[in-house]
Structures are given as structure tokens and as C-alpha cells.
Amino acid sequence: MILGILAGSIYKFYRNYSTGLDGLVTPALFIMISLVLIILMWFARIFALKAQDRAIRAEENLRYFAMTGNLLDSKLTIHQIIALRFAPNNEILDLAHRAVAEDLSPAEIKKSIKHWKGDYHRV
């Protein structure tokens, strides 16, 4: 809907461009409001995902710590850790070590998981 309002406002702005300032104020305001709403939606989504990524990092660190007494290797990226959350407990230790040693991508980590453990609480 916001993109529709933005497109319509840009079209109206373009059509009224030759009529002077009076015909441009309303479309210009709608363009600005649409852009602000798009930016607001983007930030709301990104901030929620970053918060979830931090929670996943903490959860996986706790799970790894409970099994080994150590935290996950600091060389693991957040994307690798997010991919590791799908591994069951009997596979995560090997996969975490392989991810660091072989610099596995998140896709490679996911493909290496034999018994998938779904995460159905991700926003």
C-alpha cells in the first residue's frame, strides 16, 4: 500500500510539475510520508532481526556451553551460528568445529545437518 501511495504521489508530482508550487505541495508531502514509512518499516524489521540474532547467539552459546563447558569459538560468524541452531545436540559439536576449521558457509552447514531440528519461532 505504501509503495502504491508513493508511486501515485510521484505520478501526481510529475503531472503537476508544470502548474507551479501549489500543485506540488500535496504530492511532495505524500512522497515524504511514504519514504518515512518505508524507512520506519525497514528499521523495525532490521532491529527485530538483530535482536533475534543476538538471542540465537546466546542460546547456541548456552547449548554449546552445557555440552562442553566452553563457549562457541569466537571465529564463528553470526550467520554460521544461526545455521548451527538447526543441528541437534549430537551433531552440533562436530559441525561447530568443522565450521571453524573449514570456514563453512551457512548453506554448507545446513546441508551437513543429517537430522534437521526446525526453528518455528523465528519472526
- Residue pLDDT, tens place only, 26-43: 899 999 999 999 999 999
Q: What is the model's pTM?
A: 0.72
pLDDT digits (tens, 9 = 90+) for 89-112: 999 999 999 999 999 999 999 999
| CB-neighbour burial class of residue 92 (10 A; exposed 0-12, middle 13-18, buried 19+) | buried
Q: Return d(Cα 69, Cα 63) in angstroms, integer.
A: 10
Question: Is the confidence at residue 45, as pLDDT, over 90?
Answer: yes
* b/e sequence 58-91, b meaning 16+ C-beta within 10 Å: eebeebbeeeeeeebeeebeeebbbbbbbbeeeb
Please give the single-letter amino acid code of residue 6: L
User: What pLDDT does 104 receive?
Assistant: 94
Cell of 80: 554460521
Cα gap 31→10, rounded to integer Å: 7
